[in-house]
Amino acid sequence: MKNRLNKLYADNRKAAARKFEVVAKADTNEVEIFLYDHIVSSEEEAEWFGGVAPESFVKAIKGLDVDTIHLRINSPGGSVFAARAMEQALRDHKSKVIVHIDGLAASAATFIAMAGDEVIPAKGAMFMIHKAWTGMWGNADDLRKEADLLDKIDGTLAETYASKTGKSVDQISAWMAEETWFTADEMLEHGFATSIAETEAKASAWNLSAYAKAPAPAHPEPEPAPAPVATEPEETITEEHRARLTQRLNFISRI
């Protein structure tokens, strides 16, 4: 299997939606953090693929002295361990954390969202959980060890989702195995969200072809126009023919 994580990064390297920004809210002791990007493992990867690395995110979180953090997510996901570090930084902060899913929280972005005291998807937002991916080379022993590690990662993720939602680990694991996409209403129904915003979701603007069951884009690219069909040249109309045709049309119009 090709490395689908690298495909996700490469497909979204030049996405117009990409943004990571910390903005103070005027006249309040609150900030908004825009996590509108994929999540990469290091600053070196960020330089190549774009994306938000844990170093930048954690540093930004630790530098905040505020009462409330509004984390606004629109992300196709990324590195498990990077996202875990980002999630923990939010859990360790003294502030109340309110997570807003403005368009998409997929894959690694979903357990960052689970660090919120409140999780509020917009109408039309999507939320996707799945089993962890990897890409590696090695002998049979290496691959078996990597598979064991993936099982452990999946187990910890299932426990995180189960703790937040109250669902059983078995139910969460089944959803992960199926690469399950939840609507905002389904997020609320199953405990991933605490409420739904009145605002409509912003367009996700991500290339999600790395995922097996991603929904079709709301505004797919238009199909190319069909090639013109060759036609026979029109018959030449003589002046005599034109005169007879005009006379006939004048007669018909008077009936």
Give helix 140-165 / helix 169-177 axis angle, nearest 10°.
Answer: 120
**H-only helix segments in the chain:** 4-11, 43-49, 54-62, 80-92, 108-113, 140-165, 169-177, 184-189, 239-253
> CB within 8 A of 49, min separation 6: which ones?
9, 10, 13, 38, 40
Q: What is the phi/psi pair of residue 33, to 5°?
A: -115, 120
Q: How far is CA 247 from the centre of its chain?
A: 67
Catalytic positions, written as ranges: 107, 130
214 vs 39: CA distance, rounded Å: 18
**DSSP 8-state assignment for residue 78:** B
